[in-house]
Structure 1
Amino acid sequence: MKKYLISGLLAISSVVFFSHSIVWAQAEEKKVLTPEEMAEAAKKLEEAQQKLKKVVKNVPSVDNAGSITGVVTCQKMRNSADAIVFIEKVGDNKFAPPTEHAVVDQLNLTYVPRVVAMQKGTTVDFPNSDAVRHNVFSPPTAALQFNLGTYPTGVVKEVLFDVVGETPLLCNVHSEMAGFAVTFENPYFAITDKDGNYTIEGVPPGKYTVKTWHEKLKELSQEVTVEAGKATKVDFDLKRRR
């Protein structure tokens, strides 16, 4: 799976690199892009966002499983995307990690995707698809501290996220770059789309505490009961942290 994912990703990035190296070089030098260049760069970035997974987990098969679904409203944000809804604890919270790798690319001086939600024990690939060098690292406050050093286009580096919590992603070369890798103890979590919709599938029947994560908004939690074969609706209204 990893081999084909990375091959496909590098094939996409090679097109971006050869056809838009001038655009990226101008961005690196802080030059002003033309409206046409900006539109083309935005299009490529959107295409990349759609191709890469924002969620990587290994959900076990459960008989008579239910689900948790709803809408998260993110107050005073451009949209309601990239909020994470997760179950705090399921059973003993011991689950086999996914074998599939997560991928966080670097494209147009942006982390793609900006937010990735993963189960503990997931390996993340960090390819560089820009025409400039990048340095991926996390700050001292991160759940996982690492520094991959500076590396050029076409190079892919790996990091095992064997932790739980929030790990901000930064770049020593480009201070404007920022992303988040958020890891969870169990595989019962979901990330919202731009309209705030989410669904956590395959949940064993039972009573749970459901919580939210957002890079800028206050965490909320609710107690819920999941019934066999049924969907439990849970909505959240997230507001700014004080």
Structure 2
Amino acid sequence: MKKYLISGMLAISCIAFSYNSCVWAQAEEKKALTAEEAAEATKKLEDAQQKLKKTVKNLPKVDNAGSITGVVICQKMRNNADAIVFIEKVGDNKFPPPTEHAVIDQLNLTYVPRVVAMQKGTTVDFPNSDAVRHNVFSPPTAALQFNLGTYPTGVVKEVLFDVAGETPLLCNVHSEMAGFAVSLENPYFAVTDKDGNYTIEGVPPGKYVVKTWHEKLKELSQEVTVEAGKAAKADFDLKRRR
């Protein structure tokens, strides 16, 4: 009887220790930063946002190529950034994927970049540059479903995006984290800057259907004719999904 009592007490102690360790770790993770630490964290985040590419593609060389340019207005958003404008179909939509990897980092409990557009067949690197553990996974509704498990700082995991569509990125350690990897059938796409400007370059002359994507706004499309060596214009005014 005494033996079982001691075993039970040890088990309870272990559970209590594990719980307290978890609470301590969470508290450490959420502790307030000093002004200097906050400034340094902000600088790192800004540097990462500038450095990492929002588009990854393998654009073929086309003689007498034209382009599609314009402005996308994102209604009721903080700015007009991170809308994707893409050509639905070019030829048979069969293009060699890029050898370059896309990179979606984890820094300051943020996915950086928040939105990445890539050609189907692109490999994405998911490094953890934070001082805490993260888990990257996509929900059941995603175009590509995966779960990388929880991993510490300095580790990089890879995912091949061999399907087209929208893949939301989540973290089951930090519910506030969210990002989007959008894989497209061909290399003719662009991501808007904060003013809504975009340019799709190297487009073969022809008539196309151009579409938009935004994480919160309704998709729009329009027909665009691209002439050799000229820039076609296509503007969009995106509103909230109902």
Q: Determine if the alignment matches structure 1 residue 110 to structure 2 residue 110.
A: yes
Q: Tell me how far apart the structure 1 counterparts of residues 67 and 109 of structure 2 sit (CA, whole Å).
A: 37
The change in CA–CA distance for 1:95 and 1:229 in structure 2 (over 3 A counts) is: same
1:240 deviates by 0.7
Q: Deviation per CA, 1:67-95, whole angstroms, max 9, x where unpaired?
A: 00011011111110000000000000000
**Matching of residues 177-216 of structure 1 within 5 Å:** 177-216=177-216
Is the Cα contact below 8 Å between 1:66 and 1:231 reproduced in 2?
Answer: yes
Is the Cα contact below 8 Å between 1:28 and 1:132 reproduced in 2?
Answer: no
- The amino acid that maps onto 1:172 is N
Q: Tell me how far apart the structure 1 counterparts of residues 27 and 69 of structure 2 sit (CA, whole Å).
A: 40
Q: Tell me how far apart the structure 1 counterparts of residues 133 and 31 of structure 2 sit (CA, whole Å).
A: 17
Is the Cα contact below 8 Å between 1:101 and 1:124 reproduced in 2?
Answer: yes
Q: Tell me how far apart the structure 1 counterparts of residues 237 and 26 of structure 2 sit (CA, whole Å).
A: 40
- The amino acid that maps onto 1:198 is Y
1:44 deviates by 1.3
Is the Cα contact below 8 Å between 2:121 and 2:160 reproduced in 1?
Answer: yes
Structure 1: unaligned runs, 5 residues or longer: 1-24
Is the Cα contact below 8 Å between 2:190 and 2:200 reproduced in 1?
Answer: yes
Equivalent residue, structure 1, for 2:173: 173
With normalisation by structure 1, the TM-score equals 0.87
The structure that has the greater radius of gyration is: 2
Q: Tell me how far apart the structure 2 counterparts of residues 231 and 98 of structure 1 sit (CA, whole Å).
A: 25
Q: Tell me how far apart the structure 1 counterparts of residues 131 and 38 of structure 2 sit (CA, whole Å).
A: 16
1:28 deviates by 5.8
With normalisation by structure 2, the TM-score equals 0.87
Equivalent residue, structure 2, for 1:9: none
Q: Tell me how far apart the structure 1 counterparts of residues 183 and 222 of structure 2 sit (CA, whole Å).
A: 20
Q: Deviation per CA, 1:105-159, whole angstroms, max 9, x where unpaired?
A: 0000000100000000000000000000000000000000000001011110000
Q: Tell me how far apart the structure 2 counterparts of residues 224 and 118 of structure 1 sit (CA, whole Å).
A: 22
Q: Deviation per CA, 1:34-64, whole angstroms, max 9, x where unpaired?
A: 4443333222101111010010000111110
Aligned CA-pair RMSD: 1.4
Equivalent residue, structure 1, for 2:52: 52
Equivalent residue, structure 2, for 1:134: 134
The change in CA–CA distance for 1:141 and 1:26 in structure 2 (over 3 A counts) is: closer
194-203 vs 26-35, greater mean Cα deviation: 26-35
Q: Tell me how far apart the structure 2 counterparts of residues 35 and 226 of structure 1 sit (CA, whole Å).
A: 52
Partner secondary structure for residue 29 of structure 1: helix
Equivalent residue, structure 2, for 1:228: 228
Is the Cα contact below 8 Å between 1:27 and 1:33 reproduced in 2?
Answer: no
The change in CA–CA distance for 1:125 and 1:40 in structure 2 (over 3 A counts) is: same
Q: Tell me how far apart the structure 1 counterparts of residues 48 and 95 of structure 2 sit (CA, whole Å).
A: 30
Is the Cα contact below 8 Å between 1:132 and 1:152 reproduced in 2?
Answer: yes
Is the Cα contact below 8 Å between 1:191 and 1:198 reproduced in 2?
Answer: yes
**Matching of residues 45-124 of structure 1 within 5 Å:** 45-124=45-124
**Matching of residues 3-82 of structure 1 within 5 Å:** 29-82=29-82
Q: Tell me how far apart the structure 2 counterparts of residues 84 and 27 of structure 1 sit (CA, whole Å).
A: 38
36-45 vs 186-195, greater mean Cα deviation: 36-45
Aligned residues, how many? 218
1:29 deviates by 3.0
